[in-house]
C-alpha cells in the first residue's frame, strides 16, 4: 500500500454550528416541522375525547350562552341591540389572545423533551401555540357568521379587512408576549400562574360585555386613551365587521358605537405588535442558550 493512500483527507473549511439558525424566520422556513408540531398540539388536545373537534364549537357556544344569560337576561343590557352578537365578537378576540398567551407561555416547558433532543428553533413552540389558537377561531367564526346571517347581516368588504387586521393585531401581540414569557417561565415556573391571573383582566379591559359608548359616557375626554389598548381596537374591528350589520340601523349603530379614529388606532396597534415582536425575539435569543440546563 502506498504512503499517499494512508494519509487522511483534510478539508479546509470553517467550523459551523450543527444546530439550525434560530429566529422566527427560521421557524417559517421549516414549515413542515411547524405543521407537524401544530398537528401534534391539536391531536393532543382532543386525545381520548368522545366528541373530539366538536368541543371547538361547544366551548364558544357555552360561553356565549353564559354571557348572554347572565348579562342579558338577568342583569339586562337593553341599550345594546343584538347583545349576544356583541359579546361573541369580543369572545373571538379575547379567546385568541388568551389562548396564545397562556399556551405560548407554557410551550417550552411543556415540550421540554423535544427541546432537549431535537436541534430546532425553540421559537417554534410559541409560534405553534399561536397557530393552534388561530385554528380554533374557525369554528367560532362559522358560528358567528351563521348567527349574523340569520339576523340579516351582509358582509362589507372594507369591514372584513378590518376583521383580518384584528387577527394580525392579536397574533403579533400574543406571539410577542408568548416569546417573552415562555423564556421567563423556564427560569421561574410562577410566571405561568401569573399569566393566568393577568389574562383574567383582559375580558374587562375591552368593550365585550359593555359597549364603547359606556366608556365615553363615564370617562369623557379620557375615553380616547382607552383606544391605546390594541386588544380593545381589535374587538371593535370585529364588532364593526359583524355586530353592526345585525342591528336595526347599521349606519346609526356605527356612528354611535364605533370610534371615528378606529382605523388609525388599529394600524398603530399593528405597529406596537411588530415592535413588541422584535423585542420578544431579542429577549428570546438572549436567554435561549440557557434553556436546556434549566429544564
Sequential DSSP letters for 16-51: --SSPPPSHHHHHHTHHHHHHHHHHHHHHHTTT-SS
C-alpha cell at 105: 407561555
User: How far apart are alpha carbons 251 and 24 in whole angstroms?
Assistant: 42
- pLDDT of 242: 95
User: How far apart are alpha carbons 112 and 154 in whole angstroms?
Assistant: 47
- pLDDT of 268: 95
Per-residue pLDDT of the chain (295 residues; tens, 9 = 90+): 455 556 666 655 555 554 445 677 787 787 788 888 888 877 776 666 666 667 667 777 777 777 777 766 665 556 678 888 898 899 899 999 999 999 889 888 888 777 777 777 888 889 999 999 898 888 889 888 988 998 889 999 999 999 999 999 999 999 999 999 999 888 888 888 888 888 888 888 899 888 898 888 888 778 888 999 999 999 999 999 999 999 889 999 999 889 989 999 999 999 999 999 999 999 888 887 787 766 6
Identify which of 94, 91, 120 has the alpha carbon closest to the alpha carbon of residue 107: 120
User: How far apart are alpha carbons 129 and 200 in whole angstroms?
Assistant: 19
Intra-chain end-to-end CA distance of the chain, in Å: 53
- pLDDT of 79: 67
Q: Which residue has the cell 499517499?
A: 4
- pLDDT of 14: 57
- Secondary structure class of 262 (helix, strand, coil): helix
* C-beta separation of 244 from 250 below 8 A: yes
State the pTM of this model: 0.85
Amino acid at each position: 500500500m502506498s504512503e499517499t493512500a494512508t494519509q487522511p483527507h483534510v478539508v479546509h473549511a470553517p467550523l459551523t454550528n450543527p444546530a439550525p439558525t434560530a429566529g422566527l424566520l427560521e421557524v417559517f422556513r421549516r414549515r413542515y416541522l411547524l405543521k407537524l408540531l401544530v398537528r401534534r398540539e391539536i391531536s393532543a388536545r382532543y386525545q381520548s375525547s368522545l366528541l373530539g373537534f366538536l368541543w371547538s364549537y361547544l366551548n364558544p357556544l357555552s360561553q356565549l350562552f353564559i354571557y348572554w344569560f347572565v348579562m342579558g337576561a338577568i342583569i339586562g343590557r337593553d341599550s345594546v341591540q343584538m347583545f349576544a352578537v356583541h359579546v361573541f365578537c369580543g369572545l373571538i378576540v379575547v379567546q385568541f389572545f388568551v389562548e396564545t398567551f397562556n399556551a405560548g407561555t407554557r410551550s417550552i416547558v411543556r415540550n421540554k423533551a423535544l427541546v432537549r433532543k431535537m436541534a430546532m428553533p425553540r421559537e417554534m413552540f410559541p409560534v405553534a401555540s399561536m397557530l393552534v389558537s388561530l385554528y380554533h377561531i374557525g369554528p367560532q367564526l362559522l358560528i358567528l357568521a351563521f348567527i349574523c346571517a340569520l339576523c340579516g347581516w351582509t358582509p362589507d368588504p372594507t369591514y372584513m379587512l378590518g376583521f383580518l387586521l384584528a387577527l394580525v393585531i392579536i397574533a403579533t401581540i400574543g406571539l410577542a408576549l408568548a416569546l417573552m414569557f415562555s423564556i421567563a417561565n423556564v427560569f421561574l415556573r410562577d410566571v405561568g400562574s401569573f399569566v393566568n391571573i393577568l389574562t383574567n383582566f383582559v375580558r374587562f379591559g375591552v368593550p365585550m360585555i359593555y359597549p364603547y359608548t359606556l366608556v365615553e359616557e363615564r370617562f369623557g375626554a379620557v375615553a380616547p386613551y382607552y383606544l391605546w389598548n390594541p386588544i380593545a381596537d381589535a374587538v371593535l374591528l370585529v364588532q364593526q365587521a359583524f355586530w353592526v350589520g345585525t342591528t336595526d340601523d347599521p349606519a346609526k349603530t356605527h356612528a354611535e358605537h364605533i370610534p371615528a379614529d378606529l382605523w388609525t388606532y388599529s394600524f398603530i396597534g399593528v405597529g406596537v405588535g411588530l415592535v413588541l415582536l422584535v423585542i420578544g425575539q431579542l429577549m428570546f435569543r438572549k436567554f435561549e442558550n440557557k434553556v436546556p440546563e434549566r429544564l
